[in-house]
Amino acid sequence: MKIGLRVILGILAIVLTILISSFLSVNISEKALQDFIGHEAISKTQEALETIDDTILIRIEEVDFFAHAISSHPILAESNRYFDTHPNLAKYIQEKDKEWISLPKEAITPFIKEIVGNPLSQQIRWRLQETHPQEKIFAEVFITNKYGVNVAQSTKTTDYYQGDELWWQQAKETGRHIADLQFDESSEQYAITIASRIDDQNGNFAGVIKALLTVDEITNLIQKNILRAREQVLMTLITKEGKIIYSSEGYKPFRDVSDLLTLKRQSGAGKKFLIVEDEEGQKSKGFLAWAESEGSHEFPGFQWILFSQYETNTLFAPIKRLKITLLTITLLVTFISIIIGFSISYSVSSPINKLTGIAQNLSEGRLTVAIPDDLKNLTDEIGQFAKVFDSMRQRLKITYDSLEKKVKERTADLENKTFQLEKTKKELERSNKDLEQFAYVASHDLQEPLRKIIAFGDLFQEEMGRNISENAKDYLHRMQNAAYRMRNLIEGLLQYSRLNTRALPFEEVDLEKIVQDVLGTLELTIQETGATIEVGYLPRMKADQLQMEQLFQNLIMNALKFRKPGQKPRITITSWPAQIGWVQIAIQDNGIGFDEKYTERIFYPFQRLHKSGEFEGAGIGLSICKKIVERHGGQISVKSNPQEGSTFIIHLPTHEIERSQK
């Protein structure tokens, strides 16, 4: 058989094999793509539903945390004491509840105003505004005492007495009640009921807190998932009974869509996606995936189902285009192959083999192998190809040599820069250590001559005080005051330098105990100023105990020092979880405050907003606080206005918070 015919038949066989393999691969790929897209859609849908369950769990923990925080609130305790001693309790509750229910929703009597406006109600509204300033997460929050009557609420409720409600009774008996989404008449919207039992410090039942969680946050989470999706997707969240919670198609809440549950059951056990067919059986209506709620940690979930629907025409359009393109290319390649086969039938095997050998050498990096002269001297296309091939080889060799030279130069330059960078880094570390050591040694060595100045000044005043003039006494007094201020500055600098040189490793500490120890240390100052200090729940965490004591002592002393003349200081210390693994601690006072434009300045060493004689201190306490918080991986900020007090907010990683066992 002639070489031309053999070449043509070989090429046709290869083309036919490629054609069959390609169509088989496309069909297999279509099925694999369908399965991949299905599992990817399920994964994204499950991830979105897990985010919803995690969010609900966070809100449940938020209600539990608030229930613990208000367990010893005076308003709740006073209400329970009043009802404990009431002579005709049942009649009193019945009359008040009847009066409450009979009023229009917007009507506010003095009795209702007293409940809605008391400090505990104000604390509820403040907490909602502080923790969720951008959106209304909870439609309504209210607190009852242990007899089931309202003692505080964010807004007016429809009933005064709650003790006959199932949620109240279950929260009292089991500690918590969580109810699926339903319409609440009081807030006039669909919401999730979260109720938590409140126990006092002795573990006795003190009341119940109820919060109505809106679906706004859940709706926002679904909308964010839709925006992040690469493909156009419709999402529908329904209850286990087939009622709509949210749909991106704009359906009203609680519309019956049980047909989705029917499709889910028809798909078979274990399958979580299918292609929805139209009435003619063509797969063009949509690709449907779903996930079922499994809860989060101790939250069992509501068995909600989230459906995601995609357009199949959009998803599988690349496969259809690939089939058409593959057929066109195959026909074109077949035609070209026949023509090429005839052209190769001429006696070119020997020159081709030589060129093949040279190409092999080039592919292995041997660019010095030249094209033989007998090939370059040919007058046909092969001769021209040989000349071009040799010219390409020469250009490749030049390019290769140039690139190799540049690589060596840049490698050497990179090594030099890396060495210089490492050298600069070590010099900077050594400079920082020297600077800290210098600050420590300088402040330590300066104290000795300063002590002599103070001591000899005292001796001079004792021995010569009666024999010197008034001007000399004034000069001596100024000298001693300056020496004392210098000593305070040096001691502050010494404390600041010791934050790194004498830092202790982190260990588990109880912040509540640390604050109580600090209050014991400052007991005399607290009594002299007549201060009132309220300490809320504080977590356990990994920290340097001595530095935590110094942090709280500096902040509490600041609140005591910068008080308003003629007004007793009032200091409140509270905490709440900011996000998973983080906590915020607030120290609030009613002192003189300051303009927030000086916020950054007060955290710099030796910076003061007042004259040196107006308030005692060296102006380094807050810079020490900032350095302690930053060493613990956190941040410190402050909110203040002149004559309105200040609130210092500390944001710290908790390193496995454990709740205090009381």
Number of Cβ within a 10 Å radius of residue 539: 20
Give the CB-side neighbour count of residue 353, counting CA atoms within 13 A.
4
Residue 340: Cβ-neighbour burial (10 angstroms; 0-12, 13-18, 19+): middle
Rounded Cα–Cα distance for residues 230 and 40 (Å) = 12
Rounded Cα–Cα distance for residues 648 and 556 (Å) = 10
Rounded Cα–Cα distance for residues 539 and 120 (Å) = 22
Rounded Cα–Cα distance for residues 589 and 573 (Å) = 9
Nearest to 235 by CA among 445, 56, 48: 48
Rounded Cα–Cα distance for residues 238 and 306 (Å) = 6
Query: At CA 12, angle to CA 6 and CA 18, rounded to 5?
Result: 135
Radius of gyration of the chain (CA): 40
Sign of CA dihedral 583, 589, 595, 600: negative
Q: For residue 623, give the 3-state DSSP assignment.
A: helix
CB 317 within 8 A of CB 34: no
Residue 328: Cβ-neighbour burial (10 angstroms; 0-12, 13-18, 19+): exposed
Nearest to 313 by CA among 227, 232, 234, 248: 232
Q: pTM of the entire structure?
A: 0.47
CB 236 within 8 A of CB 223: no
Kindly provide the b/e burial profile for residues 271-305, where b requires at least 16 CB atoms within 10 angstroms of the residue's own CB.
ebbbbeeeeeeeeeebbbbbbebeebeebebbebb
Q: How many residues does the chain have?
A: 662
Rounded Cα–Cα distance for residues 475 and 283 (Å) = 100
CB 465 within 8 A of CB 457: no
Number of Cβ within a 10 Å radius of residue 147: 20
Hey, what are 36's tokens?
């991949």
Contacts of residue 206, defined as CB under 8 A and 6 or more positions apart, other chains included, come to: 71, 76, 77, 80, 145, 146, 198, 199, 200
With residues binned 3-state (H G I as helix, E B as strand, rest as coil), the percentages for the chain, rounded to 5, are 55, 20, 25
Contacts of residue 308, defined as CB under 8 A and 6 or more positions apart, other chains included, come to: 41, 44, 45, 233, 234, 235, 288, 289, 290
The helix (H) or strand (E) run that includes residue 10 is helix 3-69
Q: In the β-sheet with 635-640, what is the strand arrangement from edge to edge?
A: 532-535, 570-579, 582-589, 646-653, 635-640
Distances in Å between the Cα of 386 and the Cα atoms of 292, 350, 379, 389, 554 are: 68, 13, 10, 5, 86
Q: What's residue 531's pLDDT? A: 93
Nearest to 251 by CA among 307, 207, 294: 307
The helix (H) or strand (E) run that includes residue 532 is strand 532-535
Nearest to 596 by CA among 643, 648, 651, 642: 642
Q: What's residue 533's pLDDT? A: 94
Q: What's residue 340's pLDDT? A: 67
Q: What's residue 171's pLDDT? A: 94
Residue 268: Cβ-neighbour burial (10 angstroms; 0-12, 13-18, 19+): exposed
Query: At CA 657, angle to CA 653 and CA 660, rounded to 5?
Result: 140
Distances in Å between the Cα of 233 and the Cα atoms of 40, 227, 285 are: 13, 9, 13
Rounded Cα–Cα distance for residues 18 and 326 (Å) = 10
Q: What is the DSSP string of 275-324?
A: EEP-TT--S-SEEEEEEE---BTTB-----EEEEEE-HHHHHHHHHHHHH
Mean pLDDT per 10-residue section of the chain, whose length is 662 residues: 62 75 71 73 85 91 90 91 92 92 88 91 83 79 94 89 93 93 81 93 93 86 78 83 84 80 72 64 64 86 85 67 75 72 59 70 69 68 71 78 85 86 77 61 62 72 72 71 61 59 79 93 91 93 89 91 90 90 93 86 73 62 88 91 92 62 32
Give the CB-side neighbour count of residue 581, counting CA atoms within 13 A.
3
Backbone angles phi, psi at 392, to 5 degrees: -65, -40
CB 569 within 8 A of CB 102: no
Hey, what are 323's tokens?
């089939």
Q: Which residue type does 658 have? A: E
Q: Which residue type does 105 have? A: K
| Token pair 């009193």 in the structure block, residue | 92
Rounded Cα–Cα distance for residues 234 and 240 (Å) = 19
